[in-house]
Amino acid sequence: MGPSWYSRIFSTSHSMIRFSLPSAIWPSAIWPSPIWVMALLALAGCGGSHASTTTPGTTGLQVVSISVPDGAVWRVNRPIDITFDRAIRWDSISSFSVRLQDDFGNAALGSYSQPVDSVGTVQTQIVRFRPLCPTLLDGSDAGFLPGGTRYVLTLVGEDMSPYAIRDANGQLLQDSVRLAFTTPVSNLPSDLFFDPVAGPPRLRLRGAYGVGLSDFETTHLELGVPLIGRAFFLYSYLSGVGLIDPQFVYLMPQGLPLNHRIVGANQVAFQAYFDQPINPEPDNLERVRLEYWDGAWMPIVTRNELGSNCSDAGVAVRLTPIGMLPRNTNLRIALKQGFEDLVGEGTGLDSLDLALVHTTVLETGVGARSDAYSEGFGYGGNHPLSMEDTTSFLPEPRAVWANGWLSPVLGTTGRSMARSKWVPFGLGGFQPGQSPLSPSFQFAGTDDQGVVEATGGYVDLAPPLTAPITVNSIESNAITLRLVDLVGLDPAYLDQPALLKGYRVVLYPNSERVGSGRGLRIADVQPGTGTLRLQLADPCLGLPGDCVALDLTQTYPSASGVTAELIPQSFGLWSFLGWGSLPDDCRITILFDATRADAQGNPDPNAALSANGGWKPEISDLDRGHWDFVRFEVHFDLDVSGDGWQSNDAFPRMFFLTIPYAWRS
């Protein structure tokens, strides 16, 4: 049995077995230094050996071949296969029994695995070392360092140590094996990197170019956040494109959802797999495009992320749409001219249709022409998911955008501000062959100057969306309302009930209002019941996280005589005075800006409202404009009276801000 401290990981999704070796050298009690090890190997007579030779009559484990020749120049991303004459005992593979290091004793970075054959059978007689995948074109972050670095591979046999490699029956490798190789001196990608497939990259589709019909590392859709399921594309020899495999249509029976930000189940992402490693530079990843059809193929704004680039898991680029998808049209994954593999072989022309899917034709639910942008301030600064604008000049100190809060800077003036990046709406207003619809907006809780309205230290509630509605039923943390009773409610809310998330629900037992209500966590129509279910947030007693479980049934034993109002709430505030509080000497102002997309689909600064009349204090000023992007500013003033801000004064923090929008004909 080998040493127990190495890590062994089984990856069923990739049909292989992996383990990671520690980067440290072997314990000094056993191996005092790399120089001592080399001397021992030389004395053992195994220097320069490429493979053991079988001695007649012996039963010990033997090495049949090693894919890297002794003395070879080996590319920095190329794996090494070690083949034995029989199945090996996997737990005998450790840093005691296999060593791969440079002349200074630094271990090559990478992972060991046992590969699988074309029918998914683990090759138990083979050990594969895959060097760490490079993300830089100079190869400087690869598992094998470039520049002529020399590496020594040692397979430890029983002639060197009791921790030798064993076969499945416990027989030890008889003779240790040692060989050396170097990495390329050249810094040209074509010299540095191993190219397993000739020509430019091609999309991997099930059923195409010899790809298996059940291969997992092939192009597919991911549905839902958190993940609901994957729908794989199947190559059609009739149409010459990849179409959704019929066996996965059950995952989207109403067509492809439109990627609503506020409905996790409606969100989608595209995983594009390729037949070989690709150039990891951002400008190359941008040549993998998601496009929609409107008489011509038009680009969709996506966030492109490179996943695995040189492993048995396949080469994948994840395309996440930013904003809503267009309704009732075809989408495709396409490769644009110049899309390159890792050694620079690129496509000469734009690709033909590669993977095609049709979006839903519904006008409600998964196809509703409405959505909302909700910012929770969880990521700020230069974090990849941050929506904070850190590049624009601001006339006031920057507020703190992080960890779930937007907080003012506690300076002597008490003034600070923050600005968001441009938020794309997406293509909810798309109409095939027609001019797009214009979005309209709603934002509650500020006056005509953009100032948060408050009375007595607490934010004023906006007018209710409807008259009091009879409650149909009450659960511990939810109520239901009959859809037929929602008279006067904007149709956008019925098409997309999730727009109500964050709003407040105020209950009236026997027509007597009780408190300021509870925040709404989930709103959805219950199929076949004709009701809207509203799940409420647990009440919080003071500090963030200090919440208790909600049980409405203790206050309302039955729904009889209970009515409810829905109160718009577009932002949340907290101070030491409590939730929804705004200290009397504090002022918060929220302003908005909008712009159109330029020819490349990016925000056009010259078309922005802020460049043509300034920021808008009322979001309704944006209604009916042909906007593609919106952004917001939040201004804090902690000393409205001018008597000086004190460090012990209460100050507000914002914990969410939501901008609902809808397209109407």
Q: What is the pLDDT of residues 375-398, one digit of tens each?
A: 999 999 999 889 999 999 999 999
Percent of the chain at pLDDT above 90? 57
Say if residue 191's pLDDT is above 50.
Answer: yes
Backbone φ/ψ region at 483: left (φ over 0), alpha (ψ -120 to 50), beta: alpha
Same fold, 1-194 and 220-367: yes
Going from N- to C-terminal start, the domains of the chain cover: 1-194, 220-367, 370-455+579-663, 463-567
Span 414-444, pLDDT tens digits:
899 999 999 999 999 999 888 889 899 999 9
Residue 75 exposure: Cα atoms within 13 Å on the Cβ side? 19
The pLDDT score that the predictor gives to residue 137 is: 81
Over range 56-61, report the average pLDDT: 65
- The CA distances from residue 168 to 60, 81, 393, 455, in Å, are 11, 18, 66, 77
Which is it for strands 241-244 and 355-358: parallel, antiparallel or unpaired?
Answer: parallel
Average pLDDT over residues 200-221: 92
Which of the four CATH numbers 3.30.300.30, 2.60.40.1220, 3.40.50.300, 2.40.50.140 does domain 1-194 have?
Answer: 2.60.40.1220
CA pair distance 445, 461, nearest whole angstrom: 7
What is the per-residue pLDDT for 7?
A: 27
Q: Quick one: pLDDT band at residue 33, thresholds 50, 70, 90?
A: very low
Nearest partner of 665 among 624, 630, 622, judged by Cα: 624
Q: Which two tokens stand for residue 557?
A: 């034993």
Residue 31: per-residue pLDDT: 34
**Is the backbone peptide bond immediately before 226 cis, with ω within 30 degrees of 0?**
yes
pLDDT at 539: 67
Task: Name the nearest CA neighbour of 256 among 332, 371, 367.
Answer: 367
* pLDDT band, very low/low/confident/very high, at 466 (cuts 50, 70, 90): confident
Is residue 341 left, alpha or beta, with left meaning phi > 0 and alpha meaning psi from -120 to 50?
beta
What class does CATH assign to 220-367?
A: mainly beta
Helix/strand/coil for 71: coil
Q: By the 8 A CB rule, do 318 and 219 touch?
A: no
Backbone angles phi, psi at 235, to 5 degrees: -65, 130
CA–chain centroid gap for 47, Å, is: 48
Token pair belonging to 612 = 């043509």
Could you give the C-alpha distances from 406 to 401, 421, 583, in angstroms and in order?
5, 15, 16
Kindly give, in sequence order, each residue whose CB lies less than 8 Å from that of residue 283, ignoring residues fewer than 6 positions away.
Answer: none
The tens digit of pLDDT for each residue in 615-624 reads 999 998 888 7
Residue-level pLDDT at 553:
85
Q: pLDDT band at 30, cuts 50/70/90?
A: very low
pLDDT of residue 117: 76
Mean pLDDT score of the chain:
85
Q: Give the separation between CA 319 and CA 277, rounded to whole angstroms.
A: 17
DSSP-assigned letter for residue 519: E
Tell me which H or E stretch contains 305: strand 302-306
Which are the contacts of 180, defined by CB distance < 8 A and separation ≥ 6? Answer: 48, 70, 71, 150, 151, 152, 153
Confidence of residue 634 (pLDDT cuts 50, 70, 90): very high
Q: Which whole number is the average pLDDT over 52-79?
A: 81
How confident is the model at residue 44, as a pLDDT?
36
Cross-strand pairs, 398: 417
The pLDDT of residue 542:
52
Helices (H), 254-356: 282-285
User: What is the structure's pLDDT at 58?
Assistant: 53
Tokens 């919080």 map to which residue? 540
Q: Read off the pLDDT of each residue in 26-31 and give the average, rounded to a whole number.
A: 33
Neighbouring residues of 131: CB distance < 8 A, sequence distance ≥ 6: 76, 77, 78, 79, 108, 109, 110, 142, 143, 144
CA distance 370 to 266: 12
pLDDT tens readout for residues 245-287: 999 999 999 999 999 999 999 999 999 999 999 998 899 999 9
DSSP category for residue 544: T
pLDDT at 13: 30
Extract long-range pairs of 390-393: CB within 8 Å, 24+ residues apart.
Answer: 392/419
Whether the predicted pLDDT of 474 surpasses 70: yes
- Predicted pLDDT at 168: 92
Q: Is the pLDDT of residue 544 over 90?
A: no
Provide the token pair at 82: 């070690």
Q: 152: which strand partners?
A: 101, 180
Q: Which residue did the predictor score with more confidence, 576 or 611? A: 611
Question: Which one, of 524, 549, 548, 547, lies nearest residue 535 by Cα?
Answer: 524
| Parallel, antiparallel or unpaired: strands 229-236 and 297-299 | unpaired
Residue 24 scores a pLDDT above 80 = no
Per-residue pLDDT band at 28 (split at 50, 70, 90): very low
Task: Kindly indicate the confidence band of residue 625, based on its pLDDT and cuts at 50, 70 and 90.
Answer: confident
User: Contact, 169 vs 58, CB < 8 A?
Assistant: no
| pLDDT grade for 135, boundaries at 50, 70 and 90 | confident
Closest by Cα among 407, 409, 333, 324 to 371: 324
For the chain, give the longest Cα–Cα distance. 98
Per-residue pLDDT tens digits for 220-253: 999 999 999 999 999 999 889 999 999 999 999 9
Give pLDDT tens digits for 517-534.
778 888 988 888 999 999
